[in-house]
Structure 1
Amino acid sequence: MDPAKAKKHIDRIRRFRILVMGRANAGKTTILQRVCNTTDEPEIFNGKEEKVDAAVVEGSLARGRHNIEDELVFKSNPGFVFHDSCGFEAGSEEQFDIMKKFVRDRAMTTKLDERIHAIWFCIPLTDSHRMVTAAERKFFEECDTGYVPVILLATKADALGLEAYEKLEEQGLNVDDEAWTVELQKEILVTNMEKIKDWLGITRFPPHDYLPLTGMQQGGANCTPLLTCTANALKEEGLQQLLISTQQSNLELCMEFAIMK
């Protein structure tokens, strides 16, 4: 496509749209809050831009139902719109098919303002025995996202400190030595990331990139690595600019993007 025409198409897109994937308790909502610099819960809208009562959504979740079409928007940063895929990881074939159809349709739709631009796939590092589930592996085997990049986010990396502490204790080493604990925590993180890359790197549609997230439980957490990683994964400069425009107050990100250009 001609660059001028491509830019014209990009200019018709109002918001940067992200599908957030991962099992329950993977830390998804916390990440979105940090990116949007808020502690508030998101407002929920249906596909017709009509606000949905949060109580109705909670009731649906309690009954094991979830609408991936719902749009999650934070008042603090309406330049983002998020979709949550929760449900398919439970092993339901129906939920998986719904998610797969959503990804396919939203990756290729001619309605540019409804197209998803990136996928953040969250996998918590807190369970070393089941870091990648069968349902998650199935996604990377069967779901072709086209030009939409999938960023694998390894969440809850901070919790590895407890695992490091327990290992030191098992070995009869000084658990009060913070330097040892920190060093062992780093080693466990590297090992776990290598395992995930080995498991998913051989799938038909592997992640575009892998990123461990730390400090997300803290207010004012640094989200620049996540946003930079996402911007780097985008094929079109116009989409990069759209993403950066949602974070104008993030000087570090703006400077990195200027260097990228």
Structure 2
Amino acid sequence: MDPARVKEHFDRIGCFRVLVMGRSNAGKTTILQRVCNTTDLPEVFNSEGEKSELLLRDINCTNHSQRGYHNIEAELIFKSNRAFIFHDSRGFEAGSEDEMEVVRNFVADRATTIKLEKRIHAIWFCIPMTDYERAILAAEEKFFKECDTRNVPVIVVLTKTDSLESVAIGQLIDEGSSMREAKLKVRDREKKLLIYHETRIINELKGFKYPPKGYLTLGNMNKDNADCNPLLRCTTNALDSIELQQLLISTQQTNLVLNIECVIEK
């Protein structure tokens, strides 16, 4: 990619900005760390770009009832890759009308604002497969029914898919397999379980007023060889603007595989 064009995009648009949504156990932080190639926690800034220890304490608070609704405005930036700015809608899983209103207003404002450097370019909505039986709760249903996301692509990320391994083993043993036999058959059963639940979730989300634009599954993101390319590739394909596609690709200049793939596709 022409470095001059990359710089032009960054100067005009700013960083690639993502709203990350999902439950507190969805593995969101681990995914963001993988995308930015780090194990460090992000720095937290307020909407004016000022580093804030108060927001950092609020973001790290484990008690949802003590979190302020302003958290979604906080900007999370990793030192390893400052080309990304993340927003996290913490506490949203409670599904209250006040929390929904905060998210709805944030998306409405940030998806269309004339201030390009403040505009969000994508939403990553994480749903953990540890909760596969109750994947779509009231909060998810309310978001996809009520939050107008026509101006920003939503990517649903089914996370922690590796958790289905224990489910698969349990099923096989219940069906009469020994532990040794179950371990030999587990990969095939795990794959079938993932396909079944992924299809079920996609079909349910497609029935809502504002369905996602893309879907993918991610597992074992806590391992050293974890691959976040599918998420970046899916997001790139969901973007309508070639300019934004180039901006996202440029954040991964060291990722030769992704760069080559995107160049060939375009």
TM-score by length of 2: 0.91
Structure 2 partner of 1:58: 60
For residues 66-145 of structure 1, what are the structure 2 equivalents within 5 Å?
A: 66=69, 67-145=71-149
Q: Is this contact kept in 2: 1:107–1:147, CA < 8 A?
A: yes
SS at match of 2:90: coil
Deviation at 1:57, TM superposition (A): 3.9
Matched residues, number: 255
Cα separation, 2, equivalents of 1:60 and 1:192: 29
CA RMSD of aligned residues (A): 1.7
For residues 7-18 of structure 1, what are the structure 2 equivalents within 5 Å?
A: 11-18=11-18
Structure 2 partner of 1:205: 210
* Paired letter, 1:111: K
Deviation at 1:129, TM superposition (A): 2.2
SS at match of 1:254: helix
Q: Is this contact kept in 2: 1:10–1:239, CA < 8 A?
A: no
Cα separation, 1, equivalents of 2:62 and 2:190: 39
Cα separation, 1, equivalents of 2:87 and 2:58: 17
Cα separation, 2, equivalents of 1:111 and 1:215: 37
What do the CA deviations read for 1:41-99 (whole angstroms, capped 9, x no partner)? 00000001111112354359551324100000000000000000111220221111011
Does residue 154 of the first structure (1) align with residue 155 of the second (2)?
no
Q: Is this contact kept in 1: 2:150–2:210, CA < 8 A?
A: no
Cα separation, 2, equivalents of 1:57 and 1:40: 15
Structure 2 partner of 1:235: 240
Cα separation, 2, equivalents of 1:196 and 1:56: 32
Give the 3 Å change call, closer, same or farther, for CA 61–114 of structure 1 in structure 2.
farther
Cα separation, 2, equivalents of 1:249 and 1:259: 17
SS at match of 1:136: helix
Structure 1 partner of 2:3: none
* Paired letter, 1:221: A
Structure 1 partner of 2:4: none
TM-score by length of 1: 0.93
SS at match of 1:176: helix
* Paired letter, 1:64: R
Q: Is this contact kept in 2: 1:45–1:51, CA < 8 A?
A: yes
Any unmatched runs of 5+ in structure 2?
1-6
Q: Which has the higher helix share?
A: 2
Give the 3 Å change call, closer, same or farther, for CA 134–243 of structure 1 in structure 2.
same
State which drifts further: 55-64 or 218-227. Answer: 55-64
Any unmatched runs of 5+ in structure 1?
1-6
Structure 2 partner of 1:33: 33
Cα separation, 2, equivalents of 1:184 and 1:58: 37
In the TM superposition, structure 1's runs of 4+ consecutive aligned residues that sit over 6 Å from their partners are: 7-10
Give the 3 Å change call, closer, same or farther, for CA 137–73 of structure 1 in structure 2.
same
